[in-house]
Structure 1
Amino acid sequence: MYCTYKNGRHPFLILAPLKVEIVNVDPYVLIFHDIIYENEIEIIKSMSKDSLSRANVWDARAGKAIISHIRTGKYSWLAKHMHPVLNVLNQRIEDMTDMSMETSETLQVMNYGIGGHYDVHPDYLDEPKGNVIKMTGYVNHFWGNRIATILFYLSEVEHGGATVFPHINISLQPKKGAAAFWFNMLPSGLPDYKVRHAACPVIFGSKWVANKWIRYNGQIFHRRCTTNKNDYYHLYGDTIFQ
């Protein structure tokens, strides 16, 4: 829709404001351009390659994570203590979103080969105290649901591989060094069904991304709550551009 600069309240951003593209307003979907550097990307990819394993999904009936055809790709988890660049990245996400990383999940790195995809799904959890805890072991169940998602693009894809939001008719083509951001929950604390999304199949090339999921309970002083839908634009705008 339009582009702007985010300088926020952090002193560094006064000297080097972030480049932000507002793709959609209701719900907010943003792209931060040139937000992760080439050397950081190579470190993250190199750290992940030896521990990549087939990605799975949570099966509520089985009560466990299972391999499924709806998600074909490989993933790895990188805890912030594993390399200084991961701490730097956490601080940058705080600068980008004005949200706390104290209750954010471990960075998940994904690789999709040819045909790799992920069908339409939400990032919020139907059972906030269950799913990801059993899948990763890095999450405290008191942290609450996934309030927001940061998706870093670590590569470009020659054909296919877009991130699509079918309920709002948006398609984001991977651009190396950029990151998409959206809220998974409304200001009332309820899930926002319009941000269900999918990773389109990779037709040619290899797709690398990294996900950071921010949890709800750490944001009490970072994002105000409301049940009034008229406050939707105001609150989302304040969160990103205050």
Structure 2
Amino acid sequence: MYIDLSSIKILEINIFILNKKDGVIKSEVSSYRVQATGWIREYEEDFLYRLSHKIELITNLKVRRPDNKGPSEPVESEAWQVGVYSAGGLYLPHYDNLQNEFINADGVHIGNRIATAMFYLSDPVGGATAFPKLGIAATPKAGSMVFWHNLKLSGARDDLLRHGACPVARGIKWVSNKWIRNYIINSINSTKRQN
């Protein structure tokens, strides 16, 4: 299965990492990630909405909004991330879960990344997704999906799921990630909005 990305409206292209230091956001060229990324909201492309539904059926996790209306903040899951790695492109080992709790301007907890569904969209040479602590790696094959839980049932990060993208030896590696979040809950800070 190949996806024609030429008809999809990309929200953002990012080849930099945004680091927040001392309350100031600045762009820096990444020393641990050689990849270009873009974001596509599923409610803008019916195909992605249907694919999110298939992820729900496979994983038994809530991934999409029932009405396909887009929220301004991630709730069930984040926008689809599309990543492209050229020859030599890599992403050093990392975790997908977020380190902080995220509460939007309305005082709503938007949750952590409890799981990752990653789709391979091309067949490069190299570019495997390696899980060093597990001693396994997934080889990119267009149309295949790799799925894992980022958190244990307790909510703690699963340290075994540190993973990275091995360098692409030849060709272009296209991937798409769907990060699934905790269910929406009201924050204890939500009463602050009334004051």
Shared fold (TM-score, shorter chain, > 0.5):
yes
The corresponding residue for 1:191 is: 157
Identity of aligned residues (%): 38
Query: Are 1:217 and 2:183 an aligned pair?
Result: yes
Aligned length: 170
**Larger mean Cα displacement after TM superposition, 77-86 or 56-65:** 56-65
Per-residue Cα deviation, 1:119-152 (whole angstroms, up to 9, x for no partner) = 111000111318xx8xxxxxx9612110000000
Per-residue Cα deviation, 1:30-63 (whole angstroms, up to 9, x for no partner) = xxxxxxx33xx22xx2246876734333535365
Q: 1:96 Cα deviation (Å)?
A: 1.2
Trace 1:192-207 onto structure 2 (pairs within 5 A): 192-207=158-173
Q: Matched residue of 1:72: which SS?
A: coil
| Structure 2: segments with no counterpart, 5+ residues | 65-75, 186-195
| Structure 1: segments with no counterpart, 5+ residues | 1-36, 134-139, 220-242
The corresponding residue for 1:120 is: 93
- Whole-angstrom distance in 2 between the partners of 1:76 and 1:47: 14
Equivalent of 1:57, from 8, 11, 17? 17
Equivalent of 1:95, from 57, 73, 93? 57
CA contact (8 A) 1:54 1:72 kept: no
Change (3 A) 1:201 1:141: farther
Q: Which has the higher helix share?
A: 1
Query: Are 1:146 and 2:119 an aligned pair?
Result: no
Q: 1:185 Cα deviation (Å)?
A: 0.1
Q: 1:210 Cα deviation (Å)?
A: 0.1
Query: Are 1:180 and 2:146 an aligned pair?
Result: yes
Query: Are 1:46 and 2:6 an aligned pair?
Result: yes
Equivalent of 1:107, from 80, 88, 113? 80
Detail structure 1 runs of 4+ shifted over 6 Å in the superposition: 49-52
The corresponding residue for 2:43 is: 81
- Counterpart residue type for residue 135 of structure 2: N
Q: 1:213 Cα deviation (Å)?
A: 0.1
- Counterpart residue type for residue 17 of structure 2: V
CA contact (8 A) 1:147 1:185 kept: yes
- Counterpart residue type for residue 58 of structure 2: M
Change (3 A) 1:100 1:85: same
- Counterpart residue type for residue 89 of structure 1: L
Per-residue Cα deviation, 1:185-211 (whole angstroms, up to 9, x for no partner) = 001111111101000111111000000
- Whole-angstrom distance in 2 between the partners of 1:145 and 1:217: 9
With structure 1 as the length reference, what TM-score do the two structures score? 0.64
With structure 2 as the length reference, what TM-score do the two structures score? 0.78
